[in-house]
Amino acid sequence: MHTSAKKKRSKQSETEDESGTSSSESDSEGPMDGYWGFGEENHGIPLWVHKRRANSHRKTFNGTLEWKDGALVEDVKVSTNQSTDFILGNHLSQKKRNKILNGDYVDMFTLLPPTKLMGKGEKRRSFGKRRYRTPRAEHTFENWLDGYQVFMGVVCVAYPRCSMDLVAYLAHVRRAHTLAGENAALTYDENFRRSASLLPSTRWDLRDPNYWGEDVGPYIEKKSQESAKAGKTEAKRRSQCWEYNRGVCTRPACKYLHECERCQGNHPASACFKNKQQPFRGAGGTSTTTPGSSHQGPSNRQ
């Protein structure tokens, strides 16, 4: 019975290759109108995309005539998408979308959908009346990712050939976040895009060495140093003798450090004159006071 179950499991795994993806007869290269090509035909696009494509230099897109004599052809003067289609950027104003498509600099945190914004914003007085400021999103990397998704969606639906460059750019910013932290990544993004808005020939798929060196590089070293320092401090704190710091260690050859937990001096914490108001914290964060105190922390592990 055990053998038959084993055979059954091996039979199921035959449909998957070593990479964890399903294998089939369609693994070889197929025509362009295959899986993703079918998806393209099945998904409509809004009118603002048609207009943008019509005003570009391409007279055709995916074999469909959209532009003729500087205007939209009759067949695409209406939106082809359905109410069920999800188009990133549809919640933006036409003015905001135009800024993105014209290559102007935009604040990523203003592109988030209304559900991501916090309340109505702050109240302020303006000419004797109370008015609300525009709601703002928190400047976190997670919110930046949400804003960038909208930004990329608007550009890619109108200029599909730019999608590879924008995906590569996202990889660079994520790498900056991993290596140097949130502030470094957001600063690199802002400086890069401000510069790119003035230079249409900017390669978004390439990492800018100048901004990377100024905004990311210094913080990579700083972050690694802080992590190493924190690790050493934690290791040293764990290796200090808790009983010595209470003044009661009786081991002749103690393997733990006999130094003050508060100032790392050559005396127990119970006799330390620094931070006298703060009780010594022994094992597990248990607070102790003087050697004669009735409340004692647990002893070191043997």
Higher pLDDT, 111 or 272: 111
Helices (H) and strands (E) in the chain, counts: 10, 8
**pTM of the complete model:** 0.55
Q: Evaluate whether 147 touches 106 at the Cβ level (below 8 Å).
A: no
**151-206 pLDDT, tens per residue?**
999 888 888 888 899 999 999 999 999 999 999 999 999 999 999 999 989 999 99
Q: Rounded to an integer, what distance in angstroms lies between the CA atom of residue 262 and that of residue 260?
A: 5
Mean pLDDT of all residues belonging to the chain: 71
For residue 234, is pLDDT > 50?
yes
Q: Which residues contact 106 (CB under 8 A, 6 or more apart)?
A: 96, 99, 100, 151
**240-275 pLDDT, tens per residue?**
888 888 888 888 888 888 888 878 788 888 888 765
SS3 letters for 67-136?
Answer: EECCEECHHHCCCCCCCCCCCCCCCCCHHHHHHHHCCCCCCHHHCCCHHHCCCCCCEEEECCEEEECCCC
Backbone angles phi and psi of 67, in degrees to 5: -125, 135
Higher pLDDT, 48 or 39: 48
Backbone angles phi and psi of 123, in degrees to 5: -85, 145
Mean pLDDT calculated for residue range 110-127: 62
For residue 21, is pLDDT > 80?
no
Q: Evaluate whether 46 touches 87 at the Cβ level (below 8 Å).
A: yes
